[in-house]
Amino acid sequence: MGTSTTRTRPGSTVPWSTAGRPAFPRRTADSDIDRARASQEDIDLARGVLMALYGIDADIAMRVLRRHSQYANIKLRALAQSVREAAPTAPGRPQHDLHQRVSAVLYPNRD
């Protein structure tokens, strides 16, 4: 008595095969992973900026980012990217306004 090595989908008689399926789901998953890694990098850099600026640890810096993200109703990754972009100071320029630049991102409606 011979056995078949072809698997079928549960509850179906159609063979389970990936042959002939488009690669779209895999490309989508790969791009989602790449975007998540880029977002995580922005979040990590923003946490580092807050840690250095305020002298806080990584957990507190993450809480600050989450709180401001929720308060301003913007995505965490967008806030982190804005903090990261506000942080660099041109070579040879003083960093005395770093606190103001980062505060402007965290408190956008503050006068």
> Is 5 a residue whose pLDDT tops 80?
no
| Average pLDDT over all residues of the chain | 80
CA distances from 11 to 8, 15, 16 (A): 8, 11, 11
Per-residue pLDDT of 10-35, as tens digits, reads 666 655 555 556 666 667 777 767 67
Q: Are 36 and 51 in contact (CB under 8 A)?
A: no
What is the pTM (predicted TM-score) of this model? 0.64
3 state DSSP class of 15: strand
> Is 46 a residue whose pLDDT tops 80?
yes
